[in-house]
Structure 1
Amino acid sequence: MSLSELARQAGLPVSTVHRMVGELVEWGALERGADGGYRVGLRLWELGALAPRGPGLRERALPFLEDLSLITRENVQLAVREGTEVVFVERIAATGAVRVLTRVGGRFALTATGVGLVLLAHAPVDVQDEVLGAPISRHTSRTVTDPDVLRHLLADVRTNGFAISDRQVTMDALSVAAPVQDRTGQVVAAVSLVVRYGSASAHSLVPLVRTSARAISRALAD
């Protein structure tokens, strides 16, 4: 973003933002590109790496995510809940796999993705009420936006131990997700497999995803 864009987004005078940005660049939180625009610096990446729910979880889960990707040659994702959103902490994109809209460090709504449905299903009631009481974004014609229907879906996720998002984010993708638990049995993350719609039966993928989720859970409990 340019200096003027930053000032506009922050609602502050350009002179004030110029001084603040200068300090952040000096510290390493921001970097200035050849085009004069500012972007996130390595110091923020280093700071983010200290968050235990990100890299700590990722390091323990990565061997199992890689195994799942190697076996299926599909997209594999690991995500956690932050408030009323999904945050993706790892994504392995296989060559030739269906295009996905997510990225590591990116956020998404809890109501459409497979990992989001898993995390929302196991979220506190007040979080569920907040999410389902707010407007629900529609990404495709198959996105479920009815709160009552979503509540039934979430109940099924808790009962069955997995979630299926069928073309809810893009019309060419289907995802299957399962919960990851810590040593106390609390759901702390979700793992998913995203495949091209029509390339495989969703229920044929469930055992693979649940096996990976259980393996990550055991790794977290050690």
Structure 2
Amino acid sequence: MKRSEINDILLRGDEFIRSFGYVMPPFAYWSPDEMRARKTDIQPLIDGMFGWDITDYGAGKFDEMGLFLFTTRNGRQEDLKRGGGMCYAEKIMISRKDQLSPMHSHWLKAEDIINRGGATLAIQLYGSAEDGAFDETAGGTVYCDGIRRDFAPGEVLKFAPGESVTLMPGDWHAFWGEGGDVLIGEVSTVNDDNTDNWFREPIGRFADIDEDVDPVHLLASDYARLL
């Protein structure tokens, strides 16, 4: 993706988020220079990869396959390992109309996916094999707003604003906006996007960036290289 494209997606996404009354944390709007100047103070944000995350999964076709995310909080892996402390994370996301977030699962992360506003959120689900791998013959069970829901292999569940689903490790899922763009909330256990995304197809988690202009704001995937 070109940096100019990312800058534009970021600014338009921020407008979409604000249209629902959702207020981003102050650090969302710091410039790259401000982040560099405060690097010592914000090391926990850097380590936890808080912040902007715009991805086309390395495929170069964001409108067809991509996702807009912002991590507002993220816990500590050491707390998760010992079973106590800050074991949670939260994101706000945008899935555009018919824009696929491709089939994947997680080894560790459990998550609530919440339609926070806009159009219908469509989620296709599969269960998994005994080793957790994708199994096109496997169905399973999820909980939708706390109510049990069994699903057949490949079934698409649809969620109106305010509705949600809880996904556990091994629940394979892909999602998109149906009928328009969707604002999505994610509440989960500690999030590690470097190691805990298991994609059905051999794709990347982050975008490859062509630096044709300077970044307006850094993406979380920029921190290791640009801070």
Shorter-chain TM-score above 0.5: no
Q: Which structure is richer in relative contact order (CA contacts within 8 A, separation 6 or more)?
A: 2
Rg larger in structure: 1
Query: Higher helix proportion, which one?
Result: 1
Query: Higher strand proportion, which one?
Result: 2
TM-score by length of structure 2 reads 0.30
